[in-house]
Structure 1
Protein backbone atom coordinates (compact mmCIF):
# COMPACT_ATOMS: atom_id res chain seq x y z
CA UNK A 1 0.00 0.00 0.00
CA UNK A 2 2.87 2.36 0.82
CA UNK A 3 4.41 1.68 -2.59
CA UNK A 4 1.16 2.57 -4.32
CA UNK A 5 0.91 5.85 -2.38
CA UNK A 6 4.54 6.70 -3.20
CA UNK A 7 4.01 5.92 -6.88
CA UNK A 8 0.92 8.13 -6.99
CA UNK A 9 2.77 10.99 -5.32
CA UNK A 10 5.60 10.74 -7.84
CA UNK A 11 3.23 10.57 -10.80
CA UNK A 12 0.92 13.42 -9.75
CA UNK A 13 3.04 16.30 -11.16
CA UNK A 14 3.23 14.55 -14.52
CA UNK A 15 -0.55 14.17 -14.76
CA UNK A 16 -1.20 17.78 -13.78
CA UNK A 17 1.34 19.21 -16.24
CA UNK A 18 -0.02 17.03 -19.04
CA UNK A 19 -3.57 18.15 -18.28
CA UNK A 20 -2.47 21.80 -18.31
CA UNK A 21 -0.72 21.39 -21.67
CA UNK A 22 -3.78 19.69 -23.13
CA UNK A 23 -5.96 22.56 -21.96
CA UNK A 24 -3.68 25.13 -23.63
CA UNK A 25 -3.78 23.16 -26.89
CA UNK A 26 -7.56 22.86 -26.65
CA UNK A 27 -7.86 26.63 -26.12
CA UNK A 28 -5.63 27.27 -29.12
CA UNK A 29 -7.70 24.88 -31.23
CA UNK A 30 -10.93 26.61 -30.19
CA UNK A 31 -9.50 30.04 -31.03
CA UNK A 32 -8.24 28.88 -34.44
CA UNK A 33 -11.60 27.24 -35.19
CA UNK A 34 -13.42 30.50 -34.45
CA UNK A 35 -11.10 32.40 -36.79
CA UNK A 36 -11.52 29.80 -39.57
CA UNK A 37 -15.32 29.85 -39.69
CA UNK A 38 -15.46 31.33 -43.20
CA UNK A 39 -12.75 29.08 -44.68
CA UNK A 40 -13.30 25.72 -46.38
CA UNK A 41 -11.26 22.86 -47.82
CA UNK A 42 -7.57 23.34 -48.49
CA UNK A 43 -7.72 26.99 -47.45
CA UNK A 44 -9.04 25.94 -44.01
CA UNK A 45 -6.43 23.17 -43.66
CA UNK A 46 -3.61 25.59 -44.47
CA UNK A 47 -5.00 28.22 -42.11
CA UNK A 48 -5.43 25.74 -39.24
CA UNK A 49 -1.92 24.36 -39.73
CA UNK A 50 -0.45 27.87 -39.61
CA UNK A 51 -2.66 29.00 -36.72
CA UNK A 52 -1.92 25.97 -34.53
CA UNK A 53 1.82 26.11 -35.16
CA UNK A 54 2.19 29.81 -34.39
CA UNK A 55 3.69 30.95 -31.15
CA UNK A 56 1.72 33.44 -29.07
CA UNK A 57 1.88 36.95 -30.51
CA UNK A 58 4.09 39.44 -28.71
CA UNK A 59 2.36 42.68 -27.80
CA UNK A 60 3.63 46.00 -29.18
CA UNK A 61 4.60 47.11 -25.67
CA UNK A 62 6.66 43.97 -25.15
CA UNK A 63 8.32 44.42 -28.56
CA UNK A 64 9.20 47.99 -27.64
CA UNK A 65 10.66 46.84 -24.31
CA UNK A 66 12.71 44.15 -26.08
CA UNK A 67 14.06 46.71 -28.56
CA UNK A 68 14.91 49.09 -25.73
CA UNK A 69 16.74 46.28 -23.89
CA UNK A 70 18.66 45.40 -27.06
CA UNK A 71 19.70 49.04 -27.59
CA UNK A 72 20.71 49.58 -23.96
CA UNK A 73 22.71 46.32 -23.94
CA UNK A 74 24.60 47.41 -27.04
CA UNK A 75 25.45 50.76 -25.45
CA UNK A 76 26.59 49.12 -22.20
CA UNK A 77 28.76 46.41 -23.76
CA UNK A 78 32.02 47.72 -22.26
CA UNK A 79 30.58 48.42 -18.79
CA UNK A 80 30.72 46.06 -15.83
CA UNK A 81 29.35 45.75 -12.32
CA UNK A 82 27.66 48.70 -10.63
CA UNK A 83 28.41 51.03 -13.53
CA UNK A 84 26.52 48.72 -15.90
CA UNK A 85 23.60 48.25 -13.47
CA UNK A 86 23.24 51.99 -12.99
CA UNK A 87 23.43 52.67 -16.73
CA UNK A 88 20.94 49.91 -17.64
CA UNK A 89 18.47 51.12 -15.04
CA UNK A 90 18.68 54.66 -16.34
CA UNK A 91 18.58 53.61 -19.98
CA UNK A 92 15.53 51.35 -19.57
CA UNK A 93 13.58 54.06 -17.73
CA UNK A 94 14.01 56.55 -20.58
CA UNK A 95 11.34 56.89 -23.14
Structure 2
Protein backbone atom coordinates (compact mmCIF):
# COMPACT_ATOMS: atom_id res chain seq x y z
CA UNK A 1 0.00 0.00 0.00
CA UNK A 2 2.82 2.38 0.90
CA UNK A 3 4.53 1.65 -2.42
CA UNK A 4 1.30 2.43 -4.29
CA UNK A 5 0.95 5.79 -2.53
CA UNK A 6 4.56 6.72 -3.25
CA UNK A 7 4.12 5.77 -6.91
CA UNK A 8 0.95 7.83 -7.16
CA UNK A 9 2.69 10.83 -5.59
CA UNK A 10 5.64 10.51 -7.99
CA UNK A 11 3.29 10.41 -10.97
CA UNK A 12 1.56 13.53 -9.66
CA UNK A 13 4.87 15.36 -9.34
CA UNK A 14 5.84 14.40 -12.88
CA UNK A 15 2.45 15.62 -14.13
CA UNK A 16 3.03 18.91 -12.32
CA UNK A 17 6.41 19.34 -14.00
CA UNK A 18 4.85 18.64 -17.38
CA UNK A 19 2.16 21.23 -16.65
CA UNK A 20 4.81 23.84 -15.76
CA UNK A 21 6.54 23.29 -19.06
CA UNK A 22 3.21 23.41 -20.80
CA UNK A 23 2.20 26.78 -19.28
CA UNK A 24 5.53 28.42 -19.98
CA UNK A 25 5.77 26.90 -23.44
CA UNK A 26 2.26 28.00 -24.29
CA UNK A 27 3.04 31.54 -23.17
CA UNK A 28 6.20 31.51 -25.27
CA UNK A 29 4.44 29.98 -28.28
CA UNK A 30 1.79 32.68 -28.07
CA UNK A 31 4.59 35.26 -27.82
CA UNK A 32 3.10 36.68 -24.64
CA UNK A 33 5.00 39.26 -22.62
CA UNK A 34 4.35 41.67 -19.78
CA UNK A 35 0.79 41.92 -18.52
CA UNK A 36 -0.57 39.45 -21.07
CA UNK A 37 1.93 36.80 -19.95
CA UNK A 38 1.22 37.52 -16.28
CA UNK A 39 -2.52 37.19 -16.89
CA UNK A 40 -2.04 33.94 -18.79
CA UNK A 41 0.15 32.46 -16.05
CA UNK A 42 -2.37 33.55 -13.38
CA UNK A 43 -5.12 31.70 -15.23
CA UNK A 44 -2.81 28.72 -15.61
CA UNK A 45 -2.22 28.76 -11.83
CA UNK A 46 -5.98 28.88 -11.20
CA UNK A 47 -6.54 25.95 -13.55
CA UNK A 48 -3.70 24.03 -11.91
CA UNK A 49 -5.28 24.69 -8.51
CA UNK A 50 -8.55 23.17 -9.66
CA UNK A 51 -6.74 20.13 -11.08
CA UNK A 52 -4.73 19.72 -7.87
CA UNK A 53 -7.87 20.01 -5.73
CA UNK A 54 -9.42 17.21 -7.78
CA UNK A 55 -6.31 15.05 -7.36
CA UNK A 56 -6.42 15.66 -3.59
CA UNK A 57 -10.09 14.67 -3.51
CA UNK A 58 -9.34 11.54 -5.55
CA UNK A 59 -6.70 10.63 -2.96
CA UNK A 60 -9.19 11.37 -0.17
CA UNK A 61 -6.87 13.90 1.45
CA UNK A 62 -8.24 16.34 4.02
CA UNK A 63 -7.01 19.08 6.32
CA UNK A 64 -3.30 19.80 6.47
CA UNK A 65 -2.44 16.89 4.15
CA UNK A 66 -4.75 18.32 1.46
CA UNK A 67 -3.39 21.84 1.90
CA UNK A 68 0.20 20.68 1.72
CA UNK A 69 -0.44 18.48 -1.30
CA UNK A 70 -2.35 21.20 -3.15
CA UNK A 71 0.26 23.87 -2.41
CA UNK A 72 3.10 21.68 -3.71
CA UNK A 73 1.08 20.49 -6.69
CA UNK A 74 0.23 24.05 -7.78
CA UNK A 75 3.78 25.22 -7.19
CA UNK A 76 5.13 22.41 -9.35
CA UNK A 77 2.49 23.05 -12.00
CA UNK A 78 3.31 26.73 -12.46
CA UNK A 79 7.05 26.35 -12.12
CA UNK A 80 7.42 28.23 -8.86
Query: What TM-score comes out, normalization by structure 2 length?
Result: 0.42
| Between structures 1 and 2, the one with greater helix share | 2
Larger RCO: 1 or 2 (CA < 8 Å, sep 6+)? 2
Query: What TM-score comes out, normalization by structure 1 length?
Result: 0.36
Asked which structure has the greater CA Rg, the reply is: 1
